[in-house]
Amino acid sequence: MKILLGNNHLAKTGGTENYTFALALELKRQGHKVEYFTFEKGEISSLLEDNGIPFMSGNHYDLILANHNTVVEKLWTYGCNHHRNNVYTSGDIYTILFFNKTRCADSI
């Protein structure tokens, strides 16, 4: 599978940053093609690239796993119009429900 992981920033170590890094390594180890997206590169994004996980290069993914409202909104169009295998996580469940209802109603 071609998988995109998104996180607001990957500049330094933290909760979702560590999670994104560990998940990326494991998915790659299992044979998936993994890429990442962030608004702010840094320490963690450098580690991802050192491990052969590049920054987002395409516009179609089999699975998108995204943290934070801003990332969900940015990446939404890379998934909902092409397929149904999107997972968006956010601290605001209303955002997820709103996007599902208004932006991809024809694909759910």
Across the chain, mean pLDDT equals 79
Q: What is the pLDDT of residue 30?
A: 97
What are 70-102's pLDDT values in tens digits?
Answer: 887 787 766 544 445 566 665 555 555 555 544
What are 95-105's pLDDT values in tens digits?
Answer: 555 555 444 44
- Distance separating alpha carbons of residues 3 and 91, to the nearest angstrom: 22
**The model's pTM:** 0.77
